[in-house]
Amino acid sequence: MTKRALITGITGQDGSYLAELLLAKGYEVHGLIRRASTFNTHRIDHLYVDPHDPSAKLFLHYGDLSDGARLVTLMAEINPDEVYNLAAQSHVRVSFDEPEHTADTTGTGTIRLLEAVRLSGIHTRFYQASTSELYGATPPPQSETTPFYPRSPYAAAKLYSYWITKNYREAYDMFAVNGILFNHESPRRGETFVTRKITRAVARIKAGLQKDIYLGNLDSIRDWGYAAEYVEGMWRMLQVDEPEDFVLATGVGITIRDFLETSFGHVGLDWHEFVKFDERYLRPTEVDALIGDPTKAGDKLGWTPTIHGNELAKLMVDADIEALEKGSEWIDTVDLASWTSEPTLVAR
């Protein structure tokens, strides 16, 4: 029997890698997309096959996490074996500007989706995209047993989602799990997150298209892994016998300065000459250090990440240089074959 999955947030970084992974595993994949006045499907265009074609395995549905009735209808129609809730207003800095919208999408959106599962009466496994931001001010190393201390409207909204997912597991005996994922990046990372902002700037500065880059706090430490590997971990969390929460992380933390050093150094440039400060990129409350302990995922899921922050920086710089040369939005330069299907390249 072909398995069916529903992915919210399929147009985002993780959604695109997860859709690739599940299609490669033979799943029928359904994705929730938001109606927008401009195209927002560029990360999954390479996977799309006209639904009239009998070989089509990817189906997209308009919907929004703010629209509960639509979620119930879709859940009943699709009847998925697995639901991955990746949709969110996911930018921490932006959550200070749009706290109410963030609460509605990143927090209340999760209960709408869980209720859609419950009310439609389907039997499904549910994955919630929880985050290392939950730890916030609690110092590293952080594991499944570390206390939470959220430091932004985003993290507070995700805290609600974390607990409500756990509550539905206990109250209704649902197979519902939290993946507590530390930062993971890729050539498909949104352009306003710090890694991609830096690697795009390196490519453009090297090509003479940009003079400098404005950044905020350079002292924070992050545990950066590679997104294509992390979606494999998400999938594995839904394949085990008992529902449990797992941390996915590399266990290696580096600062933004380290990431700058490696990224600019990779093309023979000194970052000090190009990086300028803009206080607009500071957060009212910062998360100083996140370094995860992925032991449980290693032991119980057999999940081991292979790419850490500094390698990731080089990989992303190479990808951004190639994308610039080819006039593409992003390009994957590493062979994903061991994790997903084939490496993909999208020219636009």
Q: Amino acid identity, residue 310? A: N
**Smallest distance from ligand NDP to CB 183, Å:** 4
68 binds ligand NDP (CB under 6 A): no
User: Residue 192 binds what, of ligand GDR, ligand NDP, none (CB under 5 to 8 Å, by partner type)?
Assistant: ligand GDR
65 binds ligand NDP (CB under 6 A): yes
Give the active site residues: 131, 133, 154
* SS3 (DSSP) at 346: coil
Alpha helices, DSSP H only, in 121-255? 153-172, 194-206, 227-237
Nearer to ligand NDP, 197 or 269 (CB): 197
Nearer to ligand GDR, 285 or 341 (CB): 285
- CA proximity to 333, closest of 187, 200, 231: 187
Strand partners for 7: 31, 84
129 binds ligand NDP (CB under 6 A): yes
As given in the structure block, the two tokens for residue 320 are 């951004």
Nearer to ligand GDR, 93 or 314 (CB): 93
In angstroms, what is the C-alpha Rg of the chain?
A: 20
Residue numbers at the binding site for ligand GDR (CB under 6 A):
90, 92-93, 131-133, 183, 192-194, 197, 215-217, 220, 222, 256, 281, 283, 286
- CA proximity to 344, closest of 12, 7, 21, 3: 21
131 binds ligand NDP (CB under 6 A): yes
User: Residue 92 binds what, of ligand GDR, ligand NDP, none (CB under 5 to 8 Å, by partner type)?
Assistant: ligand GDR
Strand partners for 28: 4
Distance CA 190, CA 197 (A): 8
Distance CA 31, CA 233 (A): 19
**Smallest distance from ligand GDR to CB 23, Å:** 24
H helix or E strand, kind and range, residue 83: strand 82-85
Q: How many positions of this chain bind ligand NDP (CB under 6 A)? A: 27
* Owner of token pair 């590399």: 250
- CA proximity to 249, closest of 195, 186, 183: 183
Strand partners for 178: 128
Residues 156-195 that bind ligand NDP (CB under 6 A): 181, 183-184, 190
Residues 94-113 that bind ligand NDP (CB under 6 A): 105, 109
User: Residue 222 binds what, of ligand NDP, ligand GDR, none (CB under 5 to 8 Å, by partner type)?
Assistant: ligand GDR
The DSSP string of 206-222 is HTTS---EEES----EE
Residues 22-61 that bind ligand NDP (CB under 6 A): 32, 34, 36, 40
Nearer to ligand NDP, 40 or 338 (CB): 40
243 binds ligand NDP (CB under 6 A): no
Residue ranges binding ligand NDP (CB under 6 A): 8-9, 11-15, 32, 34, 36, 40, 64-66, 86-90, 105, 109, 129, 131, 181, 183-184, 190
